[in-house]
A and B are shown apart, each in its own frame.
Chain A
């Protein structure tokens, strides 16, 4: 089955700096890779996703890159703000046929003002 590893487990950056979170997956059949942000007391919120036929996707300050050959994908947050502080989860799944989504262990991001 699929296994997703996520690094680092904790990340502390200064406001305005960039933050990068990296994930690797094991099942080459996975073709959909969402990223979720979870704040205390709330459910995971989708912030960006990428499919295996795309190498990079950007949405304002957030970007995700995917290297299918190496089976790794990364989240990049630029110009970080204190409100970006949260736990971020990467995940891998099949977007058709398969329904199971496997999450990484999460990265706790602290953005210091």
Chain B
């Protein structure tokens, strides 16, 4: 079965640079979530999109932005990168119920490992 695809798998950047992470949800999934996971920590919710509109916001820094496109893929844009941004970034997707509201569960990709030098 098709899974959530994230690219790139690994990314190395220097401080103050920018980065773009991409997420391709499972086909027919209309909701995308972004998480940040530090070493030995649990995933921290950053932001989510439902039908191309931002649906909820968590601990996402102002330096980060994200969007969901017409084909439902999503991109997380990160600017002025800091050493503390080094982490695993996961994307998850889910499908909505017939009532039009997101229906859990979320299915995760294998993440992008971002390293800031």
Q: A96–B101 contact, CB under 8 A?
A: yes
5 A–B pairs (Cβ distance < 8 Å), ordered by A: A49-B104, A89-B43, A96-B97, A100-B48, A106-B42
> A73 in the interface, Cβ–Cβ < 8 Å?
no
Question: Chain B nearest CB: distance from A113 CB in Å?
Answer: 25
Additional 16 contacts, C-beta under 8 A, given A43-B111, A101-B45: A34-B105, A34-B106, A41-B110, A43-B92, A43-B108, A43-B109, A46-B107, A49-B104, A89-B43, A93-B104, A95-B104, A99-B33, A99-B50, A101-B33, A103-B43, A104-B42
Q: A89–B105 contact, CB under 8 A?
A: no
Q: A103–B105 contact, CB under 8 A?
A: no
Q: B108–A32 contact, CB under 8 A?
A: no
Q: Across the two chains, which residue of chain B brings its CB closest to A43?
A: B108
- Interface residues, chain A, CB within 8 Å of chain B? 32, 34, 36, 41-46, 49, 89, 93, 95-106
The listed residue with most B CB atoms (<10 A of its CB), out of A43, A45, A46, A103, is A43
In chain B, positions 46-93 with a C-beta closer than 8 Å to chain A are 48, 50, 55-56, 58, 90, 92
Q: Is the interface of A mostly helix, strand, loop or mixed?
A: loop
Q: Across the two chains, which residue of chain A brings its CB closest to B4?
A: A43
- Interface residues, chain B, CB within 8 Å of chain A? 4, 31, 33, 41-45, 48, 50, 55-56, 58, 90, 92, 97, 99, 101-111
Alpha-carbon gap, A110 to B18, bound state (A) = 39
Question: Chain A nearest CB: distance from B76 CB in Å?
Answer: 15
